[in-house]
Amino acid sequence: MGTNKRYADAIDKRMSANTDAIIMRDRQPASLTKQELELDRLPLTRTPVAIQAWAWIHYETIALRLRVEIVAWTPRACAVRWQIPGGREDRVWVWASAVERD
């Protein structure tokens, strides 16, 4: 039996989305530590309106590129939030280089 070439891309995307949802549901995202953030030394900016972006988020040893909202930042890091399938909101600090604004 052959593969369905007509719908292969759609099937691959759906399988990838399902896998990502399971990863996010069963694991907690990794955030930068207080020592890495240096909030006592670096200026912190908070935004009243979240900024849409893409970010690399680590769930244990798995990295996922997710649609996020930036809610705060320092010169080196960004605080981001996003909804996972099922409705839970996750929040972490990531390196600024891991974030790409639209």
Three-state DSSP at 28 gives coil
Of 42, 51, 57, which Cα lies nearest the Cα of 95? 57
Both tokens of residue 101?
């604004």
Three-state DSSP at 87 gives coil
> What range does the domain containing 52 cover?
8-101
Q: Are strands 89-95 and 62-73 parallel, antiparallel or unpaired?
A: unpaired
Which residues, in sequence order, are bridge partners of residue 63? 58
- Domain membership of residue 60 (yes or no) is yes
Instruction: Express each pLDDT in 66-101 by its tens digit.
Output: 999 999 999 999 999 999 888 899 999 999 999 999
Indicate whether this model's pTM tops 0.85: no
Percentages helix, strand, coil for the chain, rounded to the nearest 5? 25, 45, 30
- Domain membership of residue 15 (yes or no) is yes
Is residue 42 scored above 60 in pLDDT?
yes
What's the domain count of the chain? 1
- Domain membership of residue 84 (yes or no) is yes
Percent pLDDT > 70 in the chain is: 82
What pLDDT does residue 85 have?
A: 84
What pLDDT does residue 14 have?
A: 56
